Amino acid sequence: MPLTINIPDTNKKRIIIVGCGFAGLTLAKYLKNSNHQVVIIDKNNFHQFQPLFYQVATAGLEPRDIAFPIRKIFQNYKDYFIRIANVTKVIPEQNLIETSLGNLKYDFLILANGADTSFFGLHKIQEYAKPMKNVYESIELLWNILQNLEDALTTSIDENEELLNIVVVGGGPTGVEISGALIEMKKFVFPKDYPELNCNHINIYLIEASPRLLGGMSEKSSEKSKAFLEKMGVKVLTSTAVKDYDGHIVSLGNGELIKSKTLIWAAGIQGNIINGINASNFTRANRILVNEINRIKDYENIYALGDIACMANEKNPGGHPQVAQVAIQQAKNLANNLKMNTSNPFKYKDLGSMATIGRNKAVVDLPFIHFDGFFAWLVWMLIHLRSIFGIKNKILIFINWVWSYLTYDQSLRLLFKPFRK
């Protein structure tokens, strides 16, 4: 007989939220004072602010600045229960989920379990490339970058080419932002930290298979971000696919080979699968098809939100973009529907998109206007600060950014290695 998670049965209906990312967190907050018991299950005990992972990976911020303990967020919420567990299966016929802690019955189940890196079936690349889809991977990436530089001090010029070349794959916002941050480290930080190393030999490549960077943004943003990056020294290759990687050599579609021990994979995502949902509900990249109120087509009481959901409509035939605002807005709409017992359809309000390229450089597309440069960079910082959870974190991040801006440096380059007794 499998264990049951120990949560009291009451006369309130139970809503289980799987995942406390942007969607799950917002839904849970907006369900406050509803007449439901709310159970939040996440495999981590913290919510992660993914847009700033690249700053953890490039020593700009500490992991704790962008991760927030879930229990602290919900300290004052009545009838809320939090469990740190991996949800492995849904059994819709029994209104039951299976988790690493045991089983639990639900009245409503909300899947907000997000997405993970997609390597598009390129297994060899998957084995050696470095993704950046959670805090752990961001820390590991930083560790790799720093360790390679340490190793480069003790190897010959011939050998250290692969240690000094960093290849970023994927020219979306993540690829653009991390390339910009790395080239700034090459310019401002590494020469001071590694005076014995000829830092001119450090190369940052950004490789994108489609003809332009920031494909989801305006043409102007694409052109401008490419121009910014190239001026800063990033070697940008568009219309170029990465075909293979063995941990040492990156093979490109045009036949070119690049020696590198660091291939950062920021090229695609796919939904995190939880077993038990009928296969017919899945579409491209493991997204789950939902109707206009985020309900999964085959079920009456199971919903999907955010990156895992695909609400295809005339305006977005392939579903909405997998960004934080969609997750947040869908969660608010569903919270209202569950609270008021209504079925108001979701309408996405596109607030615009942006990417930062480096110091004083960003691109911003608002619904009717594009701008870039210093003002865009300020807007980028303000919006991200505003979105960060908790006053203390906002202040810490702000101080860090001001400090880096004034000193062209920051002091978070610690090589914490995995602990083994």
Ligand X SMILES: Cc1cc2nc3c(=O)[nH]c(=O)nc-3n(C[C@H](O)[C@H](O)[C@H](O)COP(=O)(O)OP(=O)(O)OC[C@H]3O[C@@H](n4cnc5c(N)ncnc54)[C@H](O)[C@@H]3O)c2cc1C
Identify the residue among 144, 286, 325, 360 touching ligand X (CB under 6 A). Answer: 325
For residue 174, state whether it binds ligand X (rule: CB under 6 A). Answer: yes
Pairing of strands 203-207, 165-169: parallel
Pairing of strands 269-271, 115-117: antiparallel
Window contacting ligand X (CB under 6 A); options: 15-23, 196-204, 337-345, 394-402 = 15-23
Residue closer to ligand X (CB basis): 85 or 236:
85
For residue 322, state whether it binds ligand X (rule: CB under 6 A). Answer: yes
131 neighbors 117 (Cβ within 8 angstroms) = yes
Indicate the SS3 state at residue 172. coil
For residue 180, state whether it binds ligand X (rule: CB under 6 A). Answer: no
Least separation, in Å, of the C-beta of 190 and ligand X? 23
Residue closer to ligand X (CB basis): 132 or 164:
132
Residues whose CB falls within 8 Å of the CB of residue 290, separated by 6 or more in sequence, listed in order = 296, 297, 303, 304, 309, 310, 311
Per the document, the length of the chain is 421
CA distances from 325 to 16, 162, 289 (A): 22, 38, 19
Distance CA 163, CA 152 (A): 6
For residue 19, state whether it binds ligand X (rule: CB under 6 A). Answer: yes
CA distances from 396 to 72, 135, 204, 253 (A): 18, 18, 29, 43
Identify the residue among 95, 113, 222, 333 touching ligand X (CB under 6 A). Answer: 113
Least separation, in Å, of the C-beta of 272 and ligand X? 4
Least separation, in Å, of the C-beta of 156 and ligand X? 35
The interface mask with ligand X, positions 237-276, x = CB under 6 A, is -----------------------------------x-x--
CA distances from 232 to 63, 86, 95, 379 (A): 27, 43, 55, 21
Window contacting ligand X (CB under 6 A); options: 200-208, 283-291, 302-310, 402-410 = 302-310
Least separation, in Å, of the C-beta of 131 and ligand X? 9
Identify the residue among 24, 60, 92, 170 touching ligand X (CB under 6 A). Answer: 24
Beta strands in 148-301 (DSSP E): 165-169, 203-207, 235-237, 242-245, 249-252, 257-259, 262-265, 269-271, 282-283, 287-289
For residue 413, state whether it binds ligand X (rule: CB under 6 A). Answer: no
* Token pair for 16: 């289980």
For residue 38, state whether it binds ligand X (rule: CB under 6 A). Answer: no
For residue 333, state whether it binds ligand X (rule: CB under 6 A). Answer: no
- Number of chain residues interacting with ligand X (CB under 6 A): 33
For residue 388, state whether it binds ligand X (rule: CB under 6 A). Answer: no
* Token pair for 106: 């639900």
Identify the residue among 60, 92, 114, 271 touching ligand X (CB under 6 A). Answer: 114
Window contacting ligand X (CB under 6 A); options: 36-44, 75-83, 121-129, 335-343 = 36-44
Least separation, in Å, of the C-beta of 137 and ligand X? 9
Identify the residue among 16, 20, 163, 290 touching ligand X (CB under 6 A). Answer: 20
Q: Which phi and psi angles does 152 have, rounded to 5°?
A: -65, -25
Long-range CB contact pairs, 338-344, < 8 A, 24+: 338/15, 338/31, 338/34, 338/36, 338/108, 339/30, 339/31, 339/34, 343/293, 344/293
Window contacting ligand X (CB under 6 A); options: 1-9, 35-43, 185-193, 235-243 = 35-43
Residue identified by tokens 């289980």 is 16
Greatest CA separation for the chain: 71
Residues lying near ligand X in the complex (CB under 6 A): 18-24, 41-44, 50-51, 53, 86-87, 112-114, 132-133, 173-174, 272, 274, 306-308, 322-325, 327
